[in-house]
Structure 1
Amino acid sequence: MAIKDNIKPTRSELLELKKKIVLSQSGHKLLKMKRDGLILEFFEIMEKARNARSELMKSYDDATTKIAIARAVEGVVAVRSAAFSLTEKPEINLESKNVMGVIVPKIESSGVQKPILNRGYGIINTSARIDEAAQGYERLVEQIIISAEIESAMKKLLDDIEKTKRRVNALEFKVIPEQLEAEQFIKLRLEEMERENTFRLKKIKD
């Protein structure tokens, strides 16, 4: 099939297109490396997430068991009174960290687990059951904070993996093939134009 006569590309256009192809292929390679790195990082964090969830469920079961025992032994009023006597609240600091170019949250806490004397309630009028319940819920809160950081990081990484995959696929299956096709078209058209010019020159010479 003959190439259209009304399209007349130039050598400079071909060179410019070749530069774009090199850039696209380089970008494609870098994005694939980033995608693969993010996937590896995601699987590492996913393993941490499994462990964190397991620990969270253990902490939850332990805390609910201990609070149930405290209520049964001390009574609901005594447990609530001990809970409301808390004066020093935990501090939560939200920062960020960079994982393979993705900004993920970093949550740090302090003052979650407290010595008995810093819980606000009097140790004379309460039993060890309330202390155990308070300690159980302090551990649960710490585990919730750990899980929240890991789950948030997982979501951020997964979103960026999907974005990177779309960009890789767009370059691999659309942009680069179209550029290569355009390059081949320009080469063939330039060759055809050269043949036409050679033919004209021969006719003029004759």
Structure 2
Amino acid sequence: MALDIKPTRSELINLKRRIKQTSSGYNLLKMKRDGLFHEFRTLLSEMISAREELVGTYRDALQAISLASSIEGGLSVKSAAIAASKRPEVNVSRRNIMGVVVPKVDGQNLKLSTEDRGLGLIGGSPYIDEAADSYSLLIEKVVKAAEMEATLKRLLEEIEATKRRVNALEFKVIPEMKEAQTFIQLRLEEMEREETFRLKRFKNK
């Protein structure tokens, strides 16, 4: 028994209160663990689908850029890329999932208009437009996948930490407290019997 306890009624009352509070905290942690695990499984399923879409989008983008290069020429494709007046940007902020801070990734200028691409200056091309749109979509999916992957990692870390706390309470802290409660109750009963026996002996004298 790891707890330093005194077999008194006040100690028993305090211990019962602590067991109740600890059990309440244990139940809340279990609810948090289960809730986080549900969020993790849902997001994991979405992540698997997102990765499959990402692979398909990447394949489409490669085909589009290959077609544009073969028809318009590699120089025209490079010129179109250089002519863009804006560049994609990624901003990372934070959001909260059941008390867990996870990254929120937002992209800006991921899909540019024809004007922002500067294609009007070089005449433009439906093949180059298609390639540009394909890569814009690819960037969007990469940004989303990165956010989901980082969120999954953070949720998994919190799930493991919460699981350790739940296990510590379930298999160590609460059992030790209940063992101490039993010890105090038995000791108090023993002391009461001894006192009763002592009083009887005193009366019989």
TM-score category of the 2 structures, normalised to the smaller one: 0.7 to 0.9
Give, in angstroms, the shift of residue 123 of structure 1: 5.5
- Give me the TM-score of the superposition, normalised by structure 2: 0.88
Partner Cα distance (1:70, 1:130) in 2: 5
In the alignment, is the contact (CA less than 8 A) between 2:19 and 2:178 conserved in 1?
A: yes
Q: Determine which of 75, 84, 87 is the counterpart of 2:73.
A: 75
1:184 maps to 182
Paired residue for 2:159? Answer: 161
Partners of 1:62 and 1:136 within 8 A in 2? yes
**What is residue 32 of structure 1 aligned with on the other side?**
30
SS, match of residue 113 in structure 1: coil
**Mapping of residues 52-201 of structure 1, within 5 Å:** 52-122=50-120, 124-201=122-199
* Percent identity of equivalent pairs: 52
Using the TM superposition, give the Cα deviation of residue 125 of structure 1 relative to its aligned residue in structure 2, in angstroms: 4.5
Q: Displacement, 1:94?
A: 2.3
Superposed CA offset, 1:117-160 (max 9, x none)? 21124464453222221111111001111111222222221111
Which region of structure 1 is more displaced relative to structure 2, 86-95 or 171-180? 86-95
State the shift of 1:181 in Å: 0.7
1:13 corresponds to which of 11, 14, 35: 11
Q: CA deviation at 1:21?
A: 0.6
Indicate the RMSD between aligned Cα atoms, in angstroms.
Answer: 1.9
Give yes or no for contact 2:94–2:103 (8 Å, CA) kept in 1.
Answer: yes
Residues 80-138 of structure 1 show CA distances to partners (whole Å, capped at 9, x for unaligned) of 23222222123433222221111122222232111222112446445322222111111
**Residues in 2 aligned to 1:13 and 1:166: alpha-carbon distance in whole angstroms:** 28
The Cα offsets for residues 33-74 of structure 1, whole Å up to 9 and x where unpaired, read as 111111111222122212211221111111111112222233
> TM-score, normalised on structure 1?
0.88
CA contact (8 A) 1:85 1:120 kept: yes
8 A contact 1:95–1:106 mirrored in 2: yes
Which residue does 1:4 correspond to in 2? none
Does the 8 Å CA contact 2:80/2:122 hold for their aligned counterparts?
Answer: no
**Structure 2 stretches lacking a partner, 5+ long:** none
The runs of 5 or more residues in structure 1 that have no matched partner are 1-6
Task: Classify the secondary structure of the residue corresponding to 2:110.
Answer: coil
Distance change >3 Å, CA 170–CA 79, structure 1 → 2: same
Greater Cα shift, 50-59 or 70-79 = 70-79
